Structures are given as structure tokens and as C-alpha cells.
Amino acid sequence: MDLSYVLIVVITKCLLFSAASGQQDKSEGCPSPGFTLNGTIVVPRSGISPDFSSLSEVKFPAHLPSPSPVNDEKAIVPSSDAPSRVCKIKCIAGQWVGPLCQESNGDGRFQPILKSCILDELPPNVILSFKNQIILELNTTIPHNHTISARCQEPIGTFKLNGPSILNCSNGVWSSPIPKCQPTTLFTNYTENSPPTILVRVPSGSAAVDQNGGLVVFPGSILHLECLYLRRHGDPVWTWTSEAETYLAGWAIGNEERNWKYRLSIYYVKHFDSGTFTCTTPRGINNTISLRISDIHCKPVPSMDLSLHLNYRASGHRLGQTAYFNCPPGFFLKGPANITCLPSGEWSNEPPVCIMVKCPPISVDDSRLIMIEYNNTYGKRAVFKCAWGFQMSGENSIQCMEDSTWSHQIPTCTEILCPTPVIPLNGILIEDSAPEKHVVGSVVQFSCGERHQMIGKASIMCMENGTWSHSPPYCKARCEYPGEPTNGRIIPLKFWYAPGDKLKITCLTGYVLPLPTEASPPVCLNNGTWSFPLPKCIQYTNV
Ligand SMILES: *[C@@H]1O[C@H](CO)[C@@H](O)[C@H](O)[C@H]1NC(C)=O
Ligand SMILES: *[C@@H]1O[C@H](CO)[C@@H](O)[C@H](O)[C@H]1NC(C)=O
Ligand SMILES: *[C@@H]1O[C@H](CO)[C@@H](O)[C@H](O)[C@H]1NC(C)=O
Ligand SMILES: *[C@@H]1O[C@H](CO)[C@@H](O)[C@H](O)[C@H]1NC(C)=O
Ligand SMILES: *[C@@H]1O[C@H](CO)[C@@H](O)[C@H](O)[C@H]1NC(C)=O
Ligand SMILES: *[C@@H]1O[C@H](CO)[C@@H](O)[C@H](O)[C@H]1NC(C)=O
Ligand SMILES: *[C@@H]1O[C@H](CO)[C@@H](O)[C@H](O)[C@H]1NC(C)=O
Ligand SMILES: *[C@@H]1O[C@H](CO)[C@@H](O)[C@H](O)[C@H]1NC(C)=O
Ligand SMILES: *[C@@H]1O[C@H](CO)[C@@H](O)[C@H](O)[C@H]1NC(C)=O
Ligand SMILES: *[C@@H]1O[C@H](CO)[C@@H](O)[C@H](O)[C@H]1NC(C)=O
């Protein structure tokens, strides 16, 4: 038994199992029927006999596509929107048979479900529709006894439909193969073997294409049907089914068209011009356009429900006429920029609405970044600053632009750091308030080593622009006053001596230096020491 078509059935949440009392087939029961619900095996509700072998019939409600067309049913794919119907399967000789289902509006008889068709190809340039909706997805399911319609891609007359325009699904099989759209002379370099292109021109009046690919023209319009064929290959022939006896037909007159446009013109079309118009080439290859004259009017634009701020321009509201919309600056158009009055008497779309341009809202969750002005409507700004000690990268002011984006990215704030200060030679850093990194406001202090004097500031601070308040100091060597030499004096007499300073030693009366020092006096060295200890003045009698 094949239950495969049950797989597309969406069974209601609770399965109702009912035993058909007294009709049990005592010899052989059936196994669990193995229903799948959305692809998952369904087990019977608890409390209900799971022993299927004692059941001869299972009834259950199911949502499934009706075998007969259901009016106003929008869904293409069977869905839980489909009406609920009672179905049953029967146990016959150990096998489940069915299901049979009651027609939702039928006489209560149980009938087999017939298979749906799967559309497994969408040929190029062919437009297939089901219930007036264009089929866009491969593997769309069409229920039994439903039809799809086929037409060629627009502009009409540029492809020829080879095959029927209506296909019927009958128990999983299409009434005929999916038709193909054959390119016409416009696409084939005017080869004689292709059907002629038929171009439609409406120099005055209006026209539109209906959902079956037919041309619908407003009465009183002027219509040209141009059959594209190379004149040197011979003259095509126009034929028609409308009631009119004759139409003006012949090669176009203009220099650039006269060799390839065989034109049929209808001036001030009237209702009796409705019919099909066929252009046949000398080789007998034809292409057809169907024409319907209809004085359709859509709702006038001003009477429509128009959004505030919406501007429109429309030449009228007749079949084929278009209304154009726009919004003032600071608003954007949501919806179509233009709508056309369709042969159905409806506009091709609802009119659009004007929506105030808004940029994505900004919320700052970074304590370093401060938003000081904010409005995210068109033309307004968001202005930022950074917390003290931080500097901004990016723009501090960003503007909401017409396309609902901000002119620049939200800026970021980074900590301002001063460079590690240079420690002076022969000096040390005695205090650093933030040794790892020198943030704004941090202070470092220096001192100089022994026999060195600090030149500059002993402490410097990291400033808001990332520089130190002062350059680090430097340590300059100096020699200490060496003390009074015994029995003598030194010149000059200072607390500190700079490197290179020389001492002149004079002895008291009666004392002399053991060695004269005029030639090489004690000198203050670059490391702050004296070149040699002060000599002593000794009694001249001891020399
Ligand atoms: C079946 O699947 C559809 C789509 O995934 C879901 O909407 C629906 O709720 C499911 N039905 C049940 C009974 O789980
Ligand atoms: C098929 O559909 C047609 C028209 O839509 C209807 O009249 C007919 O009864 C249906 N046939 C079956 C077998 O359901
Ligand atoms: C359509 O169905 C066929 C066969 O089941 C599968 O191979 C293919 O991937 C399906 N295509 C899409 C688009 O789902
Ligand atoms: C589809 O084909 C079936 C069987 O060939 C036929 O009974 C039914 O009337 C057709 N339905 C339509 C809508 O053409
Ligand atoms: C059409 O004809 C022109 C001139 O003969 C040639 O250059 C061109 O390649 C042809 N194009 C195609 C698609 O055959
Ligand atoms: C167009 O050509 C097809 C196939 O050659 C033919 O069956 C059909 O009758 C022709 N149509 C007209 C209106 O001549
Ligand atoms: C109508 O609007 C569509 C987009 O919605 C655009 O592609 C098309 O060019 C417009 N037509 C005219 C005549 O402005
Ligand atoms: C932003 O600016 C618009 C236009 O000026 C104004 O209408 C709106 O009230 C402002 N929004 C805020 C939150 O200030
Ligand atoms: C940093 O700021 C100080 C004081 O505000 C100023 O004297 C100094 O020139 C600035 N340095 C730089 C590199 O801008
Ligand atoms: C200072 O320099 C002199 C000569 O270079 C050297 O002899 C002496 O040891 C140095 N003194 C100190 C304390 O480094």
C-alpha cells in the first residue's frame, strides 16, 4: 500500500482514532500505520489503544488540498488553512488501504485522494501562474483537477508560446507538457525560421497587458502592431479574428523602419476590434497577439488613501495609465514609485507611503564617550565628546543623511597617554603615580645622584594633549667644596664647583706646598670628584 501522498497531508494536532466496532478482521491485524506529521512519525495519543492490530478502520481529520478547486483559496501549497476533512484508512488483509476522504462540501461519501502535480521545471521566459499568482518556486505542488496558466515573458510579442496556455493536473499528471517560449526575430537576428516579433505601440491612448498576456486597450486609442520581418525575405500577412473587415496594413514608411516593420494600424480602437491578431511570414511561421478593448477605469488617485507628504503626478486613471509618486526631502518612499491601472480595474499596487527618514538610533554604552546632542531624523546631528583624559578618533559630529545612514561612524575615545619620560643620566625617578602607563594628570618625580645637580623641574605632569608639562630635568655633575686645606686657603671659594673648575691653593705665611701646583691644580672632574685630594701646606722648615 502506498501512503506516500499522505506525506503532504498536514494532520490536525490530535489524531482521532476510532475503532469500527464489530468489524474486526480476526484473522490478521495491521501494524501501526506510521503516519507522518510534518515529517515526524505520529504515535497515537496515550489512553488510546496503541494496539492497531485490533482495529479495522482508522478515521482522522486532515487538512489537505481538496480534489476539487476551492474558490478564493490563496495558498498554492496545501496548508493547515485548507478545510478539515474526515479521512479513513482500512485494514484489509494485514495492510492499511487508503486513505479515502470525504469531500468538504460533498455528499459525505469517502473518495480516494488524487495525486497533486509537482512543477519540477520552470522553463526560461515562461511565466506560469496558479490562481493568478506567478509561480516562482520550483517543486510547487498543484492539486489534482487544478489548472495553471502559461504565458511568455513581456514585452508581449517578443516570445511565442509553443504549447497550450492552460494546463490541468489530473492525478499527478499534467494534461500536456509545460510549454516553451520561443524567441522571435528580434532575438534571432531576423532568421527566417523564427516566428516574427510583434511590437505594440500606442502613440495615443493607453493599454496594458492582462495576466494572461493579452493586450487590453482603452477605446479610442491608436494602436500599431509591428511585425518584425526582413522585407527582402518577402511580405508577411496580417490576419485577425475581430469583426472588422479590414485594417490598414503594410510596410512602415520611415526610412529606418521600412525594411523590417510590417505594420497593422488601428485608429481609434472600438470594442469590435477585440480578437487575436496574427502575423504570418512567407514561410508560414506565425506569432499572435490577443487584443481586448475595454474601458476600464481605476479609482482616481486623489480618492485613494494617500500618505501624508506624498506627491503624485498622473495623467489619468484609465486602463494603462500610470501615476508617479515622490516624497519631499527628509522622507523616503516606501512602496512603488509608480503604479499602473490594470485591466482588472485595480492599480498595480497600493500607493506608496512617505516615511520620515530616520537614522539608526544611537545609544552610547561606553562611559568614555559622551553624547552631547542627538536627534536621528534627517538633517539632524549627533554630537559627541570624550571624557576627561580621553581623545576622540573620528568625527565629533555626525549627520543623519537622506538614505537613513549617518554621515560618519560613531567616534571612539581612547585614553590619552604620555610617553615614558626619559630618566636623566646620573638621576633616578623617585616617584611615579602610574608606573604602567602615564595617563593625563599623572606625575613623575626625579632626583639626581650624589655630586650631581638637577637642572629643570623635579616633577612633571602628563598634560591633556599627551605631552609632559616640562621636559625631564638633567643631572649636572658638580664638585663639593673640598674644605679648607691644612694651613692654606683655596681660591675660588664656592659651595659647588663645575667640572673643569680649577683650585688655586695658597699657603699661610711660613707654609708651602710640598709640590708646586700651579702647573696642575686640582680640577673638578666630569663625575663630580676632584682630580686629586687637596695637598697639605707644610712648614717651610720641613721642606
Ligand atoms: C508543520 O510545519 C509547519 C511549517 O513548518 C508549521 O507551521 C506547523 O505548525 C507544523 N504543524 C504541526 C502540527 O506541528
Ligand atoms: C474538476 O474541476 C471542474 C471545474 O473546476 C469541476 O467541474 C469538476 O467536477 C472537477 N472534477 C473532479 C473529478 O473533481
Ligand atoms: C525539487 O525536487 C527534486 C526531486 O525531489 C529535488 O532533487 C530538488 O532539489 C528540488 N528542488 C528544489 C528547489 O527544492
Ligand atoms: C482536468 O482534467 C480532468 C481529467 O482529464 C477533467 O475531468 C477536468 O474537468 C479537467 N479540469 C479542468 C479544470 O479543466
Ligand atoms: C547577427 O548578425 C550580425 C550581422 O550579420 C552578426 O554580426 C551577429 O553576430 C549576429 N548575432 C547573432 C546572435 O547571431
Ligand atoms: C499559426 O501556426 C500554427 C502552427 O504552424 C498553426 O497551427 C496555426 O493555425 C497558425 N495560426 C494562424 C492564426 O494562422
Ligand atoms: C516605475 O517604478 C519602477 C520601480 O518600482 C521602476 O523600475 C520603473 O522604471 C518606473 N517606471 C517609470 C516609467 O518610471
Ligand atoms: C528631531 O528633529 C525633528 C525635526 O526638527 C523634530 O520634529 C523632533 O521633535 C526632534 N526630536 C527630538 C527627540 O528632539
Ligand atoms: C600641550 O599643552 C600645553 C599646555 O596646554 C602647551 O603648552 C603645549 O604646547 C601643548 N603641546 C602640544 C604638542 O600641543
Ligand atoms: C671619577 O673619575 C676619575 C677619573 O676618570 C676616576 O679615577 C675616579 O675613580 C672617579 N670617581 C668616582 C667616584 O667615580
Q: Which three cell numbers stand for residue 184?
A: 522571435
Pocket perturbation via mutation, ligand 1, pick of 14, 40, 80 by most ligand atoms within 8 A of CB = 80
Q: Which domains does the chain have, with CATH numbers?
A: 3-112 (no CATH), 117-183 (2.10.70.10), 197-293 (2.60.40.10), 301-356 (2.10.70.10), 369-415 (2.10.70.10), 417-477 (2.10.70.10), 480-542 (2.10.70.10)
Q: Which atom of ligand 6 is nearest to the CA of 286?
A: 1
Q: Which atom of ligand 8 is nearest to the CA of 376?
A: 1
Q: What is the pLDDT of residues 24-37, one digit of tens each?
A: 334 467 777 666 66
> How many Å lie between the centroid of ligand 1 and the Cα of residue 64?
13
Minimum-distance ligand to the CA of 187?
Answer: 5
Minimum-distance ligand to the CA of 78?
Answer: 1
Pocket perturbation via mutation, ligand 7, pick of 154, 313, 321, 338 by most ligand atoms within 8 A of CB = 338
> How many Å lie between the centroid of ligand 1 and the Cα of residue 188?
49
> How many Å lie between the centroid of ligand 9 and the Cα of residue 378?
38
Find, among 57, 65, 66, the residue nearest to 106 by Cα: 66
- Which stretches in the chain have pLDDT values below 50? 1-27, 66-79
Structure confidence at residue 61 (pLDDT)? 77
> How many Å lie between the centroid of ligand 2 and the Cα of residue 167?
14
Structure confidence at residue 208 (pLDDT)? 95
> How many Å lie between the centroid of ligand 9 and the Cα of residue 498?
33
Structure confidence at residue 50 (pLDDT)? 55
How far CA 457 is from CA of 107, 371, 412, 430, 475, in Å, comes to: 108, 39, 35, 13, 11
Structure confidence at residue 95 (pLDDT)? 80
> How many Å lie between the centroid of ligand 7 and the Cα of residue 338?
6
Structure confidence at residue 327 (pLDDT)? 94
Q: What is the pLDDT of residues 171-197, one digit of tens each?
A: 889 999 999 999 999 999 999 999 999
Instruction: Give CA–CA dist 475/448, Å, rounded.
Output: 6
Q: CB atoms < 10 A from the CB of 475, how many?
A: 22
- Answer yes or no: are the C-beta atoms of 82 and 66 closer than 8 Å: yes
Structure confidence at residue 318 (pLDDT)? 95
Burial class (CB in 10 A: 0-12, 13-18, 19+), 137: exposed
Overall pTM surpassing 0.75 (yes/no): no
Beta strand pairing status for 222-228 and 197-204?
A: antiparallel
Pocket perturbation via mutation, ligand 6, pick of 286, 289, 291 by most ligand atoms within 8 A of CB = 286
Burial class (CB in 10 A: 0-12, 13-18, 19+), 77: middle
Structure confidence at residue 73 (pLDDT)? 37
Structure confidence at residue 25 (pLDDT)? 39
Instruction: State whether the Cα torsion 73-74-75-79 is positive or negative.
Output: negative
Structure confidence at residue 520 (pLDDT)? 81
Structure confidence at residue 24 (pLDDT)? 39
Q: Which three cell numbers stand for residue 387?
A: 571624557
Find, among 60, 66, 87, 64, the residue nearest to 8 by Cα: 64
Q: Which three cell numbers stand for residue 193?
A: 525560421
Structure confidence at residue 159 (pLDDT)? 97
Structure confidence at residue 80 (pLDDT)? 53
Cell 460533498 belongs to 106
Pocket perturbation via mutation, ligand 9, pick of 416, 464, 465 by most ligand atoms within 8 A of CB = 465
The residue contributing the CA closest to ligand 2 atom 9 is 68
Instruction: Give CA–CA dist 137/81, Å, rounded.
Output: 20
